[in-house]
Amino acid sequence: MPNQKLNFLKSGSLRHILFLSLVIFSVSSTSSVLGQQINLDLVSSEQILTPGETFEVDLQILNPGQQSIRGLQHAVSWNSAVLQLLDIEIPGDLAGSPVPQILVWNAPQPAGSGGDSGCALWWDGSGDEALSLGLGFESAITDSSIPLSKLYFRVVGNAANGETILSTPEVDLSCGWLGSLVTNDAGVIIPTVTDTEEITISDVPRPTELLCGEASSICYLSWSEPIAYDQVKVIRNGVLIGEINSGEGQFEDPDGVIGSIREYSVQGILNGVESPLSNCSISVDGEVEPPVGLTCNQSGSGVLLTWSNPLPFSQLEIIRQGVSIEILSEGSSSFLDGSPVSGVNLVYQIRGNIGGSVATSEECQIFLPIPEVLFIRGDVNSDGQLNLVDPITTLQYLFVAGEMPCASAADFNDDSSLDLSDAINLLAFLFTGGGSPEAPFPLAGFDPVPDSLGCAQPCSDSTCGGGILGDECISAIEIGLGDTFFDTTSMTDSPDEYSNIDCDTTFLGLMLSDIWFDFTATSTETVSLSLCDKVVTFDTDLVIYSGGCGQLVQEACNGDGFDENGIACPFLTSRISGFPVIEGEQYFIRVGGFATLSTGGVESGPGILSITSD
């Protein structure tokens, strides 16, 4: 609803023109035949309304004799206890209206500025109120129909049932109101009649959700009834054609004439009071009217479809991407697609069937982005491990139609596509020291480059079994020479193999709650790795591997160690000395607990791993 307010333009000039016109009219003997008179016409968008409803009233000049019009003074009044003017489109702003050279207007707030001058009783907020207009045109207008203004009204919430009138105020010389006047380009007043518009107020709510459709020249109407009426009237092209019981909510009108247009109204009656009308129209063409108003919206991980049925379809079919995915029973008007495809533009339609004839609705479209899920790049089967199973799964998917648990994880280089290079690069990383997968790696995370690959079996939790830094080989903590603090309390047991071979006369235990470190040698030398410190207070296992996480080669191990002076380490902790390393080579170091405790727990806790050059 527009809200444009212009209170005056050269108001003194216009008042002079209009008063001068009145004087000319009073002393002249000019007369006009009735067919040449001007009609200031009012047309309401509704004739019956309930309290709280809004409606529009068009003010126009009807000039059947196409006389020259140069100036105009007019007012439209109403009872403020029943109606409130919300807004107005003034001449010049209203589409199709002429632009005045001079314009004076006012109305009560909020549509106008109101005030205490002129006919102030018209905008004081009580009794009869009015819109006043005075305007002059630069040149004469001779059109037979001239839009002037559009008024936007609301029925006051406590308005009583009955009729109310939009009309023209009586002449009131006390405030300078001389009545409605129209003058020609010679300043002579043209005989003018003013229209009234009767509005009926009813507290009976109108029928809602009225739909009308046609199939094989039979017109079908359906609606909802907000209250229990005594009776419902069905009107076609202004003629009553049916009176039916409340609650039926539908009506059939047979024998429609092909090419005709049928205007229907449905009205509820309660205790003799008529509700406002609900209206619809049908162009009878012999075709089946399809479901209408189809919308599709994301609902959780699915897509919710809603529509309206203008016909009593016996069957409704859900179409997605041109293929039927579900058949619904009569009366259905919604459907939840619980398994939509993400990453593509989804196109839905509804196909209705009535008597064997079908009609398909317009499309609705929706794009569901690939949901953000946690995964580790390279962990194709989402088990928290990177091993030979992962590249094999990718190869089977690419070449023998195998399953793909997590395509995003298989996309080794994150180029949004799967091909042979992804599997080869993962094999190289696992077994020949190739580069690492792109992020998210080694910890679980979201895809930094969203694409349509998706992940059907994402990680079950944020850790993905290897998501805690250092919990598995793939998330090993990168360290160098020096001291590294750690805590194995929250670690899980890794499945990687180890043995007592080369454990220097000591034995390994159960490798419980183990933690992993990734050490790359900066020079070719020998180093010592020690847990032999009072900071570590649990019995430890220590293993060193070479190779990749998918094919570890055990190089050294120790259960219970001795310090550099040959004294047994406290708390049965571990130490490996004189271990040869090669510059640039990667080594994985694994620290775990020897056994379970009598209390039911496992040997774990904080500590320091020291790596020093020999």
Which pLDDT tens digit goes with each residue over 505-528?
788 999 999 999 999 999 999 999
DSSP string spanning 478-508? EE-SEEEEEE-TTPPPP-----STTSTT---
Where does CATH 1.10.1330.10 sit in the chain? 371-463
Rounded CA separation 507/496 (Å): 17
CATH 2.60.40.680 assigned to domain 8-201? The reply is yes
Is there a contact between 193 and 61 (Cβ–Cβ < 8 Å)?
no
Burial class (CB in 10 A: 0-12, 13-18, 19+), 523: exposed
The 10s digit of each residue's pLDDT in 115-132 is 877 788 898 888 999 999
* pLDDT for the residue 466: 52
Instruction: Enumerate residues 6+ apart whose C-beta is below 8 A from 350.
Output: 290, 291, 294, 305, 307, 316, 317, 318, 319, 360, 361
Query: In the chain, where does the domain assigned CATH 2.60.40.10 lie?
Result: 208-283, 292-367
User: What CATH fold (topology level) applies to the domain 292-367?
Assistant: Immunoglobulin-like (2.60.40)
- Percentage of the chain beyond pLDDT 90 is 69
Residue 529 has a pLDDT of 96
Topology of domain 473-613, CATH: Jelly Rolls (2.60.120)
Report the pLDDT averaged over residues 96-109: 93
Q: Would you state the structure tokens that stand for residue 195, as one six-digit string?
A: 């229209």
Q: Which residues contact 26 (CB under 8 A, 6 or more apart)?
A: none
Sequence ranges of the chain with CATH classification 2.60.40.680:
8-201
Say what the alpha-carbon torsion angle 51, 53, 54, 60 is, to the nearest 10 degrees.
-60
More confident residue, 383 or 524: 524
Q: Which CATH class name applies to 371-463?
A: mainly alpha
- To 10 degrees, the CA torsion angle through 275, 277, 278, 283? 150
- End-to-end, the C-alpha distance of the chain in Å comes to 86
pTM, two decimals, is: 0.57
pLDDT at residue 237 greater than cutoff 90: yes
Strand partners, 324: 319
Q: Residue 557: exposed, middle, or buried by beta-carbon count in 10 A (0-12, 13-18, 19+)?
A: buried
Higher model confidence: residue 49 or residue 434?
49
For range 391-400, the mean pLDDT: 95
Ranges for all domains in the chain classified under CATH 2.60.120: 473-613
pLDDT digits (tens, 9 = 90+) for 284-343: 998 899 999 999 999 888 999 999 999 999 999 999 999 999 999 888 999 999 989 877
Residue type, 195: D
CB 533 within 8 A of CB 568: no
CATH architecture of 208-283: Sandwich (2.60)
